[in-house]
């Protein structure tokens, strides 16, 4: 279960009444597009329609509906100075009382969205691998963390599918098409074999390997000598995170790498 599904399930579990707030029309410059939604309770809410004064106003109206027992309401909101926003667009909101069928529909929709999320396969549960998993837990991706050390996952509490395999290279072919591979194991030779297998698939959105310009040069020579092609090699990102910011802290490398991958997936 993804973190989004977990949060929705936890939100609905107490059975408290809620109002469903949905953007049904968005014109001009708006913080979110149509179909963005909120679930609002008296003391809590789930989701977002863009934050700011628009969201504060929608939450206030929804909570008044709960107090008054009102079942439905529509709002046509101009995002101008009177609302304290300068977007200049306009949104139409539909507010309705929550129901079991609505909640099931939302859950099913989130589950479908989760099944269609791009996949990221992280090879190596070291400091940077763990930092990636922590930061990716807030992103709309399906994440798996693969390692060949049986004790590698001990003490870890992040959101990711953890997979122990004696030979991670053989796991490469099981990763879905159009996935991102991030390779940062405890062994340079293992990094090489995983990266080579991922590049030779030719259906990956991103193949990134932690390292330096020297490591890239050494890998490139080895890859071409072992049957890889220059065209395949062009798809390798090494070092991950790019060269513009020189910072070797795992959390920074993770953040820069995630930014790269978001850019790649946005073009798919």
Instruction: Indicate the pTM of the whole model.
Output: 0.79
Are the C-beta atoms of residues 184 and 209 closer than 8 Å to each other? yes
Residues 105 and 122 in one domain: no
Of 114, 149, 165, which one is at a domain's C-terminal end?
114
CATH number for the domain spanning 176: value is: 3.40.50.720
Nearest 5°: phi and psi at 183?
Answer: -115, 115
pLDDT of residue 86: 59
Secondary element (H or E) of residue 162 = strand 161-164
| pLDDT digits 0-9 by tens, 170-218 | 999 999 999 999 999 999 999 999 999 999 999 999 999 999 999 999 9
Residues 103 and 126 in one domain: no
Q: Mind spelling out the 3-state secondary structure of 104-142?
A: HHHHHHHHHHHHCCCEEEEECCCHHHHHHHHHHCCCCCE
State the Cα–Cα distance between residues 38 and 192, nearest whole angstrom: 46
Domain of residue 21: give its range: 3-114
Cβ within 8 Å of residue 186, ≥6 positions away? 124, 126, 149
**What whole-number distance in Å separates Cα of residue 222 and Cα of residue 229?**
11
**182 and 106 in a common domain:** no
User: Where does a domain end: 84, 114, 144?
Assistant: 114
Query: 130 and 102 in one domain?
Result: no
The least confident of 102-106, 227-231, 243-247 is: 243-247
158 and 249, same domain (yes or no)? yes
By 3-state DSSP, what share of the chain in percent is helix, strand and coil, each rounded to 5? 40, 20, 40
Number of domains in the chain: 2
pLDDT at 248 over 70: yes
């Amino acid at each position: 279960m993804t973190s989004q599904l977990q949060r929705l399930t936890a939100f609905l579990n107490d059975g408290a009444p809620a109002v469903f707030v949905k953007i049904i029309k968005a014109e001009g410059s708006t913080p979110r597009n149509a179909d963005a939604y909120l679930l609002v309770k008296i003391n809590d809410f789930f989701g977002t329609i863009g934050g700011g004064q628009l969201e504060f106003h929608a939450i206030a109206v929804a909570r008044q509906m709960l107090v008054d027992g009102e079942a439905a309401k529509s709002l046509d909101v101009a995002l101008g100075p009177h609302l304290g926003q300068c977007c200049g667009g306009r949104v139409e909101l539909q507010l309705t009382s929550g129901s079991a069928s609505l909640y099931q529909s939302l859950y099913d929709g989130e589950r479908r969205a989760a099944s269609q999320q791009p996949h990221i396969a992280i090879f190596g549960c070291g400091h940077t691998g763990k930092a990636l998993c922590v930061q990716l837990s807030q992103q709309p991706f399906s994440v798996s963390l693969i390692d060949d050390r049986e004790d590698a996952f001990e003490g870890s509490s992040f959101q990711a599918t953890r997979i122990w395999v004696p030979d991670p290279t053989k796991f490469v072919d099981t990763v879905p098409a159009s996935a991102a591979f991030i390779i940062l194991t405890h062994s340079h030779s293992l990094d090489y074999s995983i990266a080579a297998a991922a590049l030779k698939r030719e259906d990956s959105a991103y193949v990134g390997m932690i390292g330096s310009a020297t490591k890239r040069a050494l890998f490139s020579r080895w890859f071409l000598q072992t049957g890889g092609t220059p065209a395949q090699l062009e798809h390798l990102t090494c070092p991950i995170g790019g060269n513009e910011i020189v910072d070797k802290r795992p959390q920074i490398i993770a953040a820069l790498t995630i930014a790269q991958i978001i850019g790649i997936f946005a073009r798919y």
